[in-house]
Amino acid sequence: MTRQDSRKLAAVAEKLREAINHHNYRYYVLDDPETSDAEYDQLMRRLEALEREYPELATPDSPTQRVGAAPSDKFRVVVHRKMMMSLGNAMNADEMREFDKRIKRLLKSDADIEYVAEVKLDGLGIELVYEDGLLTVGSTRGDGINGEDVTPNIRTIRSVPLKLVKPAHGKIPHLLEVRGEAVLTLKAFEKLNRAREEAGEPVFANPRNAAAGSLRQLNPKVTASRPLDVFLYSPGAIDGITFKSQWEFLQGIKSLGLRVNPLSRVCQGVEAVLEYWNEITEKRHSLDYDADGVVAKVNSFGLQEQLGEVSRSPRWAIAYKFKAQQAETVVERIEVQVGRIGSLTPVAKLRPVQLAGVTISNASLHNLDEIRRKDIREHDTVLIERAGDVIPYVLRVTKEGRPRSKPFEMPAHCPECGATIVHEEGEVGYFCVNANCPARMRESIRHFASKTALDIEGLGDKLVAQLVEAGLVKELDDLFSLTKSQLTGLERMADKSAQNILDAIQGARKTSLDRVINGLGIRHVGEHTARQLALRFHTLDALAEASEDDLLSVRDIGAEVAHSIREYFDEPRNLKAVKRLIKVLEIEPVTEAPGRGALRDKTFVLTGTLESMTREDAERKIMAAGGRVTSSVSRKTDFVVAGAEPGSKLKKASDLGVRVLDEKGLNALLAG
């Protein structure tokens, strides 16, 4: 090829790149595409073909180079040049007015403040760094000071330009850091979850988690398959261009090709911001992404500087969250459930209703006092709410048109076993004191098998109910003498699943003292107290013999807890059950004092083969440093340690956005 030919080809490639970038800009930033998808695809294919034939023509900012990087084993830390701050909250309109007054006071001004009101996006905070117009780093917000370098993943997001657009007036700045939010559209979220469900993989709880999991993927190919989107809204360090206000900044970065939210607006005075909030509240359900409120920012950068910040939040901005989502439905029945210590909990069985994307048919009513206070009765129409988008909660009764009904009463007899219910005057609780109550047994086993206790995988609610119903488990230790034929005799239990469960149960025999103590389900004794007790008493026998005074001398244990522990072991039936457990379990003492351990309260999952130590060594070291090792990855896992040939746990970790360490990383953590 002559030099002239190669120059021509380079010019063709450049033209194609420019055309593609231009169409991206029209599509993602201006939301005003000029071309059809087919035409766009054709341009892409031509460029790809050209670059395949003449690889020297491919530039790093070429739109064909979005998914290039190989998977990595962990993320590098990025120190943000300027801290990424968080926002203070206002709970209601009056608090917004308070915020506005405070600003006027600080600025010693009576005039209306000019704000920019923006949608508060519910995604993952990110930062993009453009040096001389090229995207060089993309990172997560992290703790605001240190983030994670997720550049290869950010590059896969179509609405992030790899190269800034030269604006009609003005030039490309030398340095431009912009902050914003990566979000997953609701459509993409639903599609992703459907695919995961079909593949038998765990689904994401909400688009925010899915976005976080997708961005914190070690393999950029996976990120590329999840159509993330970005909206940019804040400046970081900037050199070579100046903006006088937030509004000018938003317009400026838009003209440089960066995507900004089209709903942002300049508002004169706080009342205009409140109006904006009302409008967005109405609109929020028709948006294609999750939003959780509105952010108001003082427009002028000069005034922002005068106002400054307090404890990592600017004084010039505030978030006003949407009200929790509510719906009306009917209480069809009030049922009473029996817990493991025999406490009765009333639960409203609701006419199923859609609320924030899920069907709600139950809501705990907590206790009789709460029911009385709100006067909730069967057949009432009630207003329910999902606070923090998880637990449904009955807000109040709509009394108009209430049918004739009687106030709710706690039953005199246990709904499960018929024993007399005990209630002490002046106390809130009602209890079934029959230690043989099947409901109590069910709940005890469930708790015993749960993650923070013996962590027996596969022993779910249904199976526990079956085991108790069939009379196969009457005491906790009965679990360990279950046989395969007993299990396969249960409804819907195949040979393979029976074996898996038996293996899981046998695997749980070897455990640590704190887990056993927690698993006993002593009233007021949770994970933390169990650990303190294990550290102090070393064996279950010693704990069972401890006097109330001995117990009171343990860190964080007060009179009520000490009394409850003593009461538990004073009950002959409990003591017998504990003695039997001691015989079947292999209980390891807990040694390291908490607080001193560098990995205090951190949960680890190990996968793959480690080089410098066995898995048991690694477990011991982590535990000695105050950490925990569990067998399966969940959102509660802090670190996954991946050795050679890691299994599916590594994938799960990246899906859930859990941090992954290699052996070196683990050793560094252990070294403190």
What Å distances lie between residue 236 and 139, 141, 239, 251, CA to CA? 12, 12, 10, 16
Least Å from the CB of residue 672 to ligand IVH: 29
Active-site choice (120, 163, 254, 297): 120
Q: Is 208 in the site for ligand IVH (CB under 6 A)?
A: no
Measured CA to CA, the distance from residue 222 to residue 653 in angstroms comes to 13
Amino acid at 6: S
Interface of this chain with ligand IVH, residues 382 to 421, rule: CB under 6 A = none
Which of 51, 64, 99, 118 touches ligand IVH by CB under 6 A?
118
Give the binding range for ligand IVH (CB under 6 A) out of 85-93, 267-275, 590-598, 629-637.
85-93
Binding map of ligand IVH across residues 461-500, x = CB under 6 A, - = no contact? ----------------------------------------
As measured in angstroms, the least distance from the Cβ of 316 to ligand IVH is 8
| Residues in CB range of 20: below 8 A, 6 or more apart | 40, 43, 44, 47, 63
If the CB atoms of residues 120 and 515 are measured against ligand IVH, the closer one turns out to be: 120
Minimum gap (Å) between residue 177 Cβ and ligand IVH: 13
- Helix 3-24 × helix 37-53 angle, to 10°: 150
Distance CA 251, CA 432 (A): 66
Which span sits near ligand IVH by CB under 6 A: 15-23, 116-124, 517-525, 546-554? 116-124
Q: How far is the CB of 305 from ligand IVH (least distance, A)?
A: 12
Is 125 among the residues that bind ligand IVH (CB under 6 A)? yes
Residue 246, classified by CB atoms within 10 Å of its CB into exposed (0-12), middle (13-18) or buried (19+), is buried
Please report, as residue ranges, which positions from 243 to 282 form the binding site for ligand IVH (by CB under 6 A).
none
240: left (phi over 0), alpha (psi -120 to 50) or beta: left
- The residue (of 85 and 358) whose beta carbon lies closer to ligand IVH is 85
244 catalytically annotated:
no
Considering beta carbons, is residue 290 or 416 the nearer one to ligand IVH? 290
User: HSE on the CB side for 393, CA within 13 Å?
Assistant: 11
CB within 8 Å of 330: residues ≥ 6 apart = 350, 351, 379, 380, 381, 382
Q: Residue 648 and residue 662: Cα distance in Å, rounded?
A: 15
Draw the binding track, 308-347, toward ligand IVH (x: CB under 6 A; -: no contact): ------x--x-x----------------------------
Please state, in angstroms and as integers, the Cα–Cα distance from residue 466 to each residue in 413, 441, 478, 493, following that order: 23, 12, 14, 11
| Other beta carbons less than 10 A from residue 38's beta carbon | 7
Among 35, 65, 86, 497, contact with ligand IVH (rule: CB under 6 A)? 86
Segment near ligand IVH (CB under 6 A); pick from 115-123, 216-224, 425-433, 453-461: 115-123
Residue 87 binds to ligand IVH (criterion: CB under 6 A)? yes
Q: Which amino acid is at 182?
A: A
Does 141 bind ligand IVH (CB under 6 A)? Our answer is yes
Residue 313 beta carbon to ligand IVH: minimum distance, rounded to whole angstroms: 7
> 664 Cβ partners below 8 Å, 6+ apart?
none
| Count of residues interacting with ligand IVH (CB under 6 A) | 15
Least Cβ distance, residue 89 to ligand IVH (angstroms): 8
Question: Could you write out the three-class secondary structure of 361-425?
Answer: EEEECCCHHHHHHHCCCCCCEEEEEEECCCEEEEEEEECCCCCCCCCCCCCCECCCCCCEEEECC
> Does 287 interact with ligand IVH (rule: CB under 6 A)?
no
| Residues labelled as active-site residues | 120
Point out which residues bind ligand IVH (CB under 6 A).
Answer: 85-87, 118, 120-121, 125, 141, 181, 233-234, 295, 314, 317, 319
